[in-house]
Structure 1
Amino acid sequence: MHEAYVLPGPLALSRSTVDRAADRRDDAAWLDSLWADEATRVLLVGNGTVSADGDALRFVPPSQAPDGDRFLLGLDDGVAFLAVHVDGMPAGGATLREAGALLGDRDAGLAVHAIALANWHAAHRFCPRCGARTRSASGGHMRVCEAEGSQHFPRTDPAVIVLVVDERERCLLGRSAAWPGRRFSTLAGFVEPGETPEHAVVRELYEEVRVRVTSCAYAGAQPWPFPSSLMLGYYATASGDDPTPDGEEIAEARWFSRDELTAAMESGDVIPPSGISIARKLVEGWYGRPLPVDVSWR
């Protein structure tokens, strides 16, 4: 059944046109030349935001860039794009939830890259092996322990996010215990050590709502740097048994036909997933058309 559903694209935070130039991150002379070139574009990032003007990022030349950890974001059409991690929010700071869907493909990719790196650097100032301070290296894509020289690389946490459909073509949506009432979305959870994403789909659905998945198929992925996740989207099938929320992570879970979901959204009883989330695309793939926009849940 789930093979019939396709994510309507593109995913807002999965777009990118920039060559990350990973093979040149350790070329110190080349990196120095980029910082000396006023044609280079520098993005300011801090506190989970990037400098932006509406539907475009706001860049400065290297001479106007403040101090802070420096990141190589990549090259596009001969232009180098770098970032500086500043304290607090940069001027014109916008979150990915605010600007992610408005930015073009190039800028969306740059923003996600910069925020993900900044979040990781902020949480890894000290070596997990000995506790000494670490410093940024390799164009911002590594930290090195100043005491023992051990190398540490950016962390990405894989998580599955799942739209379950039963034999009656109903989808299962849940409300997190941490959310206000009326907000419903697909179910999700982190992949555990030694586990495949498919195993995580089965485990999470049973743990959270006592629904047994009978099959699942990968649909697509989107980086979600809040602070460091990679969301792996799946469609899954299950029998339409009544869900039993665990009461800790999930406060409420319900099966919806397309007509029932339409009526619930129109009445305000259900607020659907946010516009930039892969959850929204999973639901729209099943629903067959775009969901109503609700700016309060962006």
Structure 2
Amino acid sequence: MKIAEQVTFGGSGWDRAATARADAAALRNRDDAVAIPFSHKKPLLDGAGRLHRLPARHDRLQEDLLWILLGQDGSTPTFAVDVSHWIPEEGEPEISPEFFDRSEQRFPFLPPNCGFADLRMVMTQLDRRDAELAATGKALIEWHESHGFCANCGARSTPADGGWQRVCPACKRRHFPRTDPVVIMLVTHGNDVLVGRSPGWPEGMYSLLAGFVEPGETIEAAVRRETIEEAGIEIGQVSYLASQPWPFPASLMVGCHAKALTREITLDPVELEDARWVSREEMMDVFAGTHPELLGARPGAIAHFILRNWLADRLD
């Protein structure tokens, strides 16, 4: 797919400066170093929908916070920093439990137009560079939060290598951020595409089928297994389309085009609440917002990207 990296969170040509990670502490103390704060895994945005950067030596950014060297913008070291300990004057920030967290947290010592916002809500507002940085920072902060202890001996581990490792002081084992590969399938049969909805999704929302790749499994095999397990549809040819880092919490979505050999749907009610074939013409109505029953995959998700390009006949 020639336009594969135009997907949200796709590559922006960012210099991750991997060879400089061992010197992250020194880079953080440079006068030109900047930091992108995250609170409860929400990035800080300004009023124009851009990531807001603070000087890394800002008096509110202590050395003992979780710092992650994202890379360099030209020669400028750029970090993500976890400031979830910040509590505004009105008390502990309220984090919405809903599918889309529309709450925004603001602090009096920041510019009045700046606030911490859920990445799901703002991902389509960000330019390609900011989207990549936000996805990387969120994914790594979440990994540190959930992997604080050594999986080998159980001792508490500590961040290392600019936040890209955790090291166990007891057994010296090194741990690296995890990424979970997930296949997401454009399953077609003639002029129709297979879509489904999971329990708990917003009413009327349908998207492409997806599932985790299992150990010892190829991408193609995972596409065939997941489709027949969830919807009872047998798959023939499978081809790669595009991929998307999906930091909710740590997936790499591998988009594929799968040609269906059968049409009869046998639903797995544990995985899917419903699944159906939708014609190209119906899907055009879904994207136009005029379909009487269906809502499409949300903008920013790779399912939306793939479906939009399928409608435009741009899967080459």
Q: Tell me if both proteins adopt one fold, taking TM over 0.5 as the criterion.
A: yes
Unaligned runs of 5+ in 1: 291-298
| C-alpha contact 2:5 2:242 (8 A) present in aligned 1 | no
Post-superposition Cα deviations, 1:4-51, rounded to whole Å, max 9, x if no partner, equal: x77676111113232111112123xxx233222221110112322111
* Structure 2 counterpart SS, 1:56: coil
What's the counterpart of residue 150 of structure 1?
173
Is the contact made by 1:224 and 1:231 (CA closer than 8 Å) also made in structure 2? yes
SS at match of 2:273: strand
Contact 1:15/1:108, CA 8 A, preserved across alignment: no
Q: Secondary structure at the match of 2:166?
A: strand
1:44-72 deviation per Cα after TM superposition (whole angstroms, max 9, x unaligned): 12322111113211111122124411110
| Structure 1 position 107 matched with structure 2 position 130 | yes
Give me the TM-score of the superposition, normalised by structure 2.
Answer: 0.84
Conservation of the 8 A alpha-carbon contact between 2:69 and 2:79: yes
Deviation for aligned residue 1:177: 2.2
**Aligned partners of 1:8 and 1:284 also within 8 Å:** no
In the alignment, the residues of structure 2 paired with residue 50 and residue 287 of structure 1 have an alpha-carbon distance, to the nearest angstrom, of 33
Q: 1:8 to 1:159 in 2, by over 3 A?
A: closer
What is the correspondence of 1:102-181 to structure 2 with a 5 Å cutoff?
A: 102-166=125-189, 168-181=190-203
Tell me whether 261-270 or 209-218 shows the greater mean CA deviation: 261-270
Is the Cα–Cα contact under 8 Å of residues 235 and 282 in structure 1 kept in the other structure?
no
- Name the structure 2 match of 1:62: 56
Q: Distance in 1 between matches of 2:130 and 2:199?
A: 34
Distance 2:203 2:79 in 1: 41
Structure number having the greater helix percentage: 1
Q: Which of the residues 263, 275, 280 maps onto 1:253?
A: 275
Structure 2: runs of 5 or more not aligned? 86-92, 94-104, 107-114
Is contact 1:8–1:281 with CA below 8 Å preserved after alignment? no
Contact 2:4 2:243 in 1 (8 A): no
Structure 1 distance, partners of 2:306, 2:25, is 44
Q: Which of 267, 276, 280 is the equivalent residue of 2:291? A: 267
Change (3 A) 1:177 1:113: same
1:276 aligns with 2:272: no
Task: Note if contact 2:282-2:291 (Cα within 8 Å) is conserved in structure 1.
Answer: no
Letter in 1 for 2:45: A
- Normalising by structure 1, we get a TM-score of 0.89
Q: Which amino acid aligns with 2:51?
A: L
Q: State the number of aligned residues.
A: 282
Letter in 2 for 1:237: K
1:1-298 correspondence to structure 2 within 5 Å: 10-27=6-23, 31-53=24-46, 54-64=48-58, 65-66=61-62, 67-87=64-84, 91=106, 92-166=115-189, 168-263=190-285, 265-288=289-312
1:215 CA displacement: 0.8
Which amino acid is 1:21 matched to? A
Identity of aligned residues (%): 38
